[in-house]
Structure 1
Amino acid sequence: MPVTNGRRMVELRALRAALAAWLWQRHGTFIVWLPVFLAAGIALYFALPWEPAGMAALGAGMLGAACLSVRLLWPAILPLRMGCGVLGACAAGFALAWAQAHMQPAFPDLPRRAVHVSARVMGVEGQTLRDGTQATRLLLADARFGDGINIGMPPLRRRLLLRLRADDPAVVEAGDRVSVQALLTPPAFPAIPGGYDAQRRAWFDGLAGYGRALEPVSCVHGHDPSGVQGAISHLRQVMARRIRAVLPGPSGAVAATVLVGWDGAIDGPMRAAFADAGLAHLLAVAGLHLAIVMGLVMAVTRMGLALWERAALFWPCRQIAALSALLAGAGYVLVTGSHLPALRSLFMATLAIGALLAGRRALSMRSLAVAAGVLLCLNPENVAELSLQMSMAAVMALIAGFEALRPLLSGWEQAGSWWRRVMARLAHPLAASVLAGGACIPVGMAHFGTVQPWFVLANLVAVPLMSIWIMPWGLASFMLMPLGLEKLALVPMGYGIGVVEWLARHVASLPVARMMVPAMDGVWLAVFFAGLCWLCLWSGRVRLMGVVPIVLAVASPWVTARPVGMVSPDARMAALVSDGRLLTSPGAHPDPFMLREWQRMTGLPAGLLPPDGSAGGVSCRSGGCRLEGAGGDIVAVLAAHGSDRAMCQGRGVMVNLSGMWGCPGMLLIGRFDVWRNGAYAIYDRGAHGLAIYADRQERGDRPWVMRPGGTGMPNLPMAQAE
């Protein structure tokens, strides 16, 4: 026995020594994990169902500083070094998220009736309504209300998004002062517990709410210029107007989107076709567009300098071309609105140009890690947003994928046979589409509840066409606009856009082009990103362990319980799930946003509850419906005359949206409960009964969670000092 124990001790020591040696060999790559754990700390803050006190955030900040100190004082102790790195990054992310959340001003209490609004215009953009008509949407700052008790109050600290009437003839520009009678609404509550949180997005975007004009707007031009931001917004507006004048149809809307970020001009059917074909990324100015712009500028500049003998012999042509491309990319990002994906891409491009000038690799995991770390420090709330998740997943998969495929592709490119060289050229766009699209599929499942199987087919044609035809003509239109000759470039650009539109419509019409799937839970989305990071950031065979959490996360929507009953946060809609269908009532025209969110969560087609009769496992009569389940029955009273007390049988939950009465022995969810707690979701747990979740229970008491009814802080002036 002593001999056996001694042998085991020796084996354990050998194993520990081998593990330590393996980690020391790779300790130089641990830096790429810092933004991963920084994002984990940020995600932990947003996942909490309560708001941490200031002392907790201070403690997290001090813990991060202590870990950094220990890491610097004892760098040779590997367990201490790794533990402090992980713990310190998580603590720093937690503290950053808390600080960012508490730096925002409180939501104001917006008037509940029509009010006279006067404000300064910060931005103007087009918007296509559901009926296809075009309207203008204004971003307003320093808004004041001119009715009732609001007269004389200080301006709002937050901004408003106001949609003008479609028949309003006014031409509003950034820097103008506007005055209009409008109806305002606060940011909406989530349509379902765990659904999209518009209030959190508005909290960090500095928005107070939304509104629609009830009359034509009164505008005073140029009364209050709004600095550089207003000048850029005015430039974008003028350029979009000139683009749409040359290309008035859908092609003009797409051109204005990719050239100046005027994405509100694209109508719903066209946007849906691009999404179903897997081409939605072409309508979002991000890394692809910036890479095309910078690549074209760099190539043209380098060729132009090479044609000049003196420059070719004595000037650093490559460095000049790289800096010219960077300046062009920065200008393009400013003109398109400086959105997060474009800023992330510009930061990555800046690092790549710096590496190119220093003689290092232009694109690597280290540069991606630096870009991700800086973006998370500046805007930690974006860790939960679609744009950052899509960007990071796609770029990480591209870098790691081409790193793994480099030996194979290099061998084909240098092969003697011509067909292998041709295959190598074709393999690059195919691999890029598969890698980036495959990495984004689980993110799309979590945020949209859809999968587009034909995305590779569409991207193989659309992306090269965007690179070699559409964007080059778009850049040419930029140079021709000062001369008034932009039509010479925009017309050929429109031809290329027309081909992409045709491709999007036809790919979207293919069988199963848009597969609805249940939305992936946020916890499983985190599991997917953990697996993706493991797969992409490690080297060797150990990286293959990351496939396991990725597969589990992708399969999770089909093994996770889905709600069988839902109630909207305004208590105007309810839905029951029966026989693979999402049945809603009352009314033949349910709220499209609510219905879209419910379908995203369940992955089911929609239908209507019958006024009387049965539909699957649901039976309706006298304005009420009953769904029988293993864990209990759900009784939904949906009409004002629904007062058939004979439905009060058995056990379960009663949803009464028309009255205050309930059934003995059944839990009641009434209008007041919905007003107080927000949306409800009901799950059938079988022998464990029905599980009921409310939005306020899911989100907790956080700074961005508005009080019942959407009320905020009164917009009152500060008390006078004595």
Structure 2
Amino acid sequence: MEDSLSYQYVSHIQAVFSRMQQVLAAWLWGQHGRFVLWLPVLLAAGIAVYFALPWEPGGMAAFGAGMVAMACLAGRLLWRDSLPVRMGCGMVGACAVGLLLAWGQAHRMPPFPDLPRRAVHLSGRVTGVDAQTLRDGTQALRVGLADVRFLEGINIGMPPLRRQIALRLRPDDPSIPVAGDTLSARVMLTPPAFPAMPGGYDAQRRAWFDGLAGHGRALDRVACAHPPVTPAMSARLDTLRQGLGQRISAALPGPRGTVAATVLVGADGVIAADMRQSFADAGLAHLLAVAGLHLAIVMGLTMTVVRTGLALSERAALFWPCRQIAALCALLAGAGYVLLTGAHLPAQRSLLMAALAVGALFVGRRPLSMRALAVAAAVLMGLAPEAVVELPLQMSMAAVMALIAGFDGLRPVLSAWAQHEVWWRRMGARVSRPLLASMLAGGACVPVGMAHFGTVQPWFVLANLLAVPLMSVWIMPWGLASLLLMPLGAEKLALVPMGWGIGVVAWLARLVAHLPVAHVSVPAMGSGGLVLFFAGLCWLCLWAGRARFVGVVPVVMALLSPFVGRMPVVLVSPDARMVGVVTGQRLLSGPGMHPDPFILREWQRVTGLRAGLLPVDGRQDGVACHGGVCRVAGQGGDIVLLLGARLSDAALCLGAEAVVNLHGQTGCPGADRIGRFDVWREGAYALYPRAGGGLVVKRDRAVRGARPWVMRPGGAGMPDLPLAQAE
């Protein structure tokens, strides 16, 4: 009897599990047509895993990732009817391919060279020129130099650098180099900067994948020589862009001309810092970055003009495919605009999406769809996998994905309202589209802005609702007209009206930026929170059915993550010249009255706090300073900061958990010691309170690990010296 009951119980459990498996399989098969949309997500996951590793995978690891990818492909081909095998192989294989793409791109780049630490004469080939507005309001040219050779000392006769140098000329230099010129100058060079704090922005990683060796500053006026040969196409495009920018600035001087040059020829560095900050605080920074919005306006205007012109001909209207012809002309105009503005990554992504939309028009499919976005994202990741961890791709993908998914979900309601017999519903359907577009795109970009800028702009919907239509119907049409009038020398006829519209948008940006809580500083979202946000966003946008709303949970958790993490107590800059103390609701820095603005800005981005100065003598918010020695009281233990004096009083060591000495290595017995040599060897430091008492010490080199782009202590690179003949 007992055996029979046990058998029935086991059978019942097996039947329940079998039923659950059938329901789960049916549910997943219902999503079968959307699984392909997850391919770029899984590629991005593999790329993110590569950049998150604390060590560099070797050749055998890369070979293993390739074998895993091939095994997964074989599994999908052999067991195509088994859903678990197909899903498992697809997920693991795509992640392995993503990791392999990132590894291959990283090891394809040449190593950082060891740059001279003194003034040196060099010569190189100019690859690009753009203007840059300095902090004092003056403008200086910034050039890119390739094939750089050093002209003095042991470097004479050495092979040219395999990486480029970004060189800033003197503001009073009358030379105007163009792409293809040979430039000679006496300069001071600096390698890419170390992160300002462990886990902070990694300029060395960005320089590694951009092909930069470092930055330079010209000490004297430079000498330029024009080459006798015809420059390459890229050099001619840079020269054309430079000439057009000068003509725009001459016809429309002042801040309005800088904005016009930015949106028409991609002269991004000429905009003054105060205007750029106003646009950023108002949530209008995307208007100053040539991307999808500007390309859509250019292609939309071109398509409208061409199709209207063809409709004027009876034969063309009746017998020609006017829509397809107009779309092809719009794509060509968009490609020309992308090349003219420098072909930056967001513009390339937008152009690829536009090409897919035009192809869909030719074959009778939907122009904008999630599949087209997936193809574009996969292609961009294959060409530049490092873009996954950078702002432009994250921002653009989040915005476009939210727009497509949002309007797909709201299309039945909007279509019903657009055809409703009540007039106010028809009007509401038309008015709500730009409002929804602003809310969807802006809302999806808010967490990305929290991660990269540590700010939130609550009034972005209001600003975009007014500025984007003005950019579409007034500013960009007049700007394109000015480009067409330039061969006739009459570009001012169109640039002046364009400047009126730019003035209105600039006024709107200043107005919104000065509204209450227009610019809210928050602690920067960490990498884990950003991954959590994109996981939830992808689930919301790519999954079908009501289960998609489960993605709201990780999105909310990501938004709350910056406010539940522990704040650092003390920060030490990578050059051991500056410390920051987080106390109360302020970030106090010292020593001195003029902290490094770049390091301070990064610390403020991460902490979201207002900046202040450490007291010279006295007490402020738990920090007591006297005679160049500061003592920070905290739950994790007191921290002694030696800013300008030696530790001579043994009483200062009482209760000290750590000692930060910016001038030597001495410290308190039994306490963690952070000296100048430690910072030189390990990079920036950050001290966090431990939950159970004590301190957690984080070092930049330990956080980043031994990666190809992590430079040796002091910023030393590979010496540019050839091997001896015998070797």
Corresponding residue for residue 720 of structure 2: 715
Take 1:645 and 1:605, find their aligned partners in 2: how far apart are those partners? 34
Corresponding residue for residue 271 of structure 2: 266
Corresponding residue for residue 436 of structure 2: 431
Take 1:526 and 1:223, find their aligned partners in 2: how far apart are those partners? 52
Alpha carbons 1:143, 1:156 under 8 Å: kept: yes
Q: How does 1:579-618 map to 2 (within 5 A)?
A: 579-618=584-623
1:420 is aligned to 2:425: yes
Question: CA separation of 1:138/1:640 partners in 2, compared to 1, >3 Å: closer, same or farther?
Answer: farther
Per the TM alignment, residue 294 of structure 1 is displaced from its structure 2 partner at its CA by: 0.5
Take 1:472 and 1:65, find their aligned partners in 2: how far apart are those partners? 50
Alpha carbons 2:635, 2:693 under 8 Å: kept: no
Matched residue SS, 2:283: coil
Take 1:227 and 1:75, find their aligned partners in 2: how far apart are those partners? 50
**Residue 29 of structure 2 is aligned with which of 7, 24, 27?**
24
Take 2:57 and 2:650, find their aligned partners in 1: how far apart are those partners? 46
Q: Letter of the aligned partner of 2:315 in structure 1?
A: R
Alpha carbons 1:622, 1:642 under 8 Å: kept: no
Take 1:288 and 1:640, find their aligned partners in 2: how far apart are those partners? 56
Corresponding residue for residue 211 of structure 2: 206
Matched residue SS, 1:687: coil
Alpha carbons 1:622, 1:643 under 8 Å: kept: no
Alpha carbons 2:145, 2:166 under 8 Å: kept: yes
Take 2:91 and 2:544, find their aligned partners in 1: how far apart are those partners? 19
**Residue 240 of structure 2 is aligned with which of 226, 235, 238?**
235
1:281 is aligned to 2:281: no
1:376 is aligned to 2:381: yes
Matched residue SS, 1:673: helix
Question: CA separation of 1:226/1:640 partners in 2, compared to 1, >3 Å: closer, same or farther?
Answer: farther
1:529 is aligned to 2:548: no
Take 2:131 and 2:666, find their aligned partners in 1: how far apart are those partners? 47
Q: How does 1:555-574 map to 2 (within 5 A)?
A: 555-574=560-579
1:40 is aligned to 2:36: no
CA deviation string 1:114-136 (max 9, x = no partner): 00011110000000000111010
Take 1:646 and 1:589, find their aligned partners in 2: how far apart are those partners? 31
Per the TM alignment, residue 7 of structure 1 is displaced from its structure 2 partner at its CA by: 2.3
Corresponding residue for residue 219 of structure 1: 224
Take 1:546 and 1:561, find their aligned partners in 2: how far apart are those partners? 26
Per the TM alignment, residue 6 of structure 1 is displaced from its structure 2 partner at its CA by: 2.3
Alpha carbons 1:34, 1:373 under 8 Å: kept: yes
Q: Letter of the aligned partner of 2:418 in structure 1?
A: E
**Residue 489 of structure 1 is aligned with which of 494, 499, 506?**
494
CA deviation string 1:511-557 (max 9, x = no partner): 11110000111011001100000000011110000000000000000
Corresponding residue for residue 388 of structure 1: 393
TM-score by length of 2: 0.98
Q: Letter of the aligned partner of 2:422 in structure 1?
A: S
Take 2:540 and 2:446, find their aligned partners in 1: how far apart are those partners? 16
Which piece of structure 1 moves more, 157-166 or 656-665?
656-665
Q: Letter of the aligned partner of 1:693 in structure 2?
A: K
Take 1:140 and 1:581, find their aligned partners in 2: how far apart are those partners? 42
Take 1:709 and 1:228, find their aligned partners in 2: how far apart are those partners? 39
Per the TM alignment, residue 579 of structure 1 is displaced from its structure 2 partner at its CA by: 1.1
Question: CA separation of 1:13/1:585 partners in 2, compared to 1, >3 Å: closer, same or farther?
Answer: same
CA deviation string 1:31-85 (max 9, x = no partner): 0001101110010000000011110011101111111122122211110000000
Q: How does 1:499-514 map to 2 (within 5 A)?
A: 499-514=504-519
Alpha carbons 1:176, 1:225 under 8 Å: kept: no
1:440 is aligned to 2:445: yes
Matched residue SS, 2:300: helix
1:53 is aligned to 2:58: yes
Q: How does 1:83-232 map to 2 (within 5 A)?
A: 83-223=88-228, 225-232=230-237
**Residue 659 of structure 1 is aligned with which of 660, 664, 673?**
664
Matched residue SS, 2:112: coil
Question: CA separation of 1:91/1:245 partners in 2, compared to 1, >3 Å: closer, same or farther?
Answer: same
CA deviation string 1:297-337 (max 9, x = no partner): 01110000010112112211111101000000000000000
Matched residue SS, 1:125: strand
1:695 is aligned to 2:700: yes
Question: CA separation of 1:313/1:265 partners in 2, compared to 1, >3 Å: closer, same or farther?
Answer: same
Per the TM alignment, residue 666 of structure 1 is displaced from its structure 2 partner at its CA by: 1.2
Corresponding residue for residue 349 of structure 1: 354
Alpha carbons 2:568, 2:686 under 8 Å: kept: yes
Take 1:247 and 1:283, find their aligned partners in 2: how far apart are those partners? 17
Corresponding residue for residue 515 of structure 1: 520
**Residue 457 of structure 2 is aligned with which of 452, 458, 479?**
452
Corresponding residue for residue 398 of structure 1: 403
Alpha carbons 1:655, 1:668 under 8 Å: kept: yes
Alpha carbons 1:120, 1:224 under 8 Å: kept: no
Take 2:353 and 2:427, find their aligned partners in 1: how far apart are those partners? 30
1:705 is aligned to 2:706: no
Per the TM alignment, residue 478 of structure 1 is displaced from its structure 2 partner at its CA by: 1.4
Alpha carbons 1:176, 1:223 under 8 Å: kept: no
Which piece of structure 1 moves more, 642-651 or 131-140?
642-651
Matched residue SS, 2:160: coil
Take 2:148 and 2:633, find their aligned partners in 1: how far apart are those partners? 51
Alpha carbons 1:276, 1:452 under 8 Å: kept: yes
Q: Letter of the aligned partner of 1:357 in structure 2?
A: F
Q: Letter of the aligned partner of 1:376 in structure 2?
A: M
Per the TM alignment, residue 349 of structure 1 is displaced from its structure 2 partner at its CA by: 0.5
**Residue 304 of structure 1 is aligned with which of 293, 301, 309?**
309
Take 2:676 and 2:324, find their aligned partners in 1: how far apart are those partners? 66
Per the TM alignment, residue 421 of structure 1 is displaced from its structure 2 partner at its CA by: 1.4
Take 2:52 and 2:560, find their aligned partners in 1: how far apart are those partners? 22
Per the TM alignment, residue 435 of structure 1 is displaced from its structure 2 partner at its CA by: 0.4
Per the TM alignment, residue 566 of structure 1 is displaced from its structure 2 partner at its CA by: 0.2
Matched residue SS, 1:654: strand
Q: Letter of the aligned partner of 2:180 in structure 1?
A: G
- Unmatched 5+ residue regions in structure 2? none
Corresponding residue for residue 70 of structure 1: 75
1:363 is aligned to 2:381: no
Per the TM alignment, residue 193 of structure 1 is displaced from its structure 2 partner at its CA by: 0.4
Corresponding residue for residue 550 of structure 2: 545
Take 1:211 and 1:107, find their aligned partners in 2: how far apart are those partners? 15
Q: Letter of the aligned partner of 2:485 in structure 1?
A: L
Identical aligned residues as a percent: 68
Alpha carbons 1:624, 1:644 under 8 Å: kept: no
Question: CA separation of 1:441/1:188 partners in 2, compared to 1, >3 Å: closer, same or farther?
Answer: same
Alpha carbons 2:435, 2:461 under 8 Å: kept: yes
- Unmatched 5+ residue regions in structure 1? none
CA deviation string 1:110-159 (max 9, x = no partner): 00000001111000000000011101000000111112111111110000
Matched residue SS, 1:212: strand
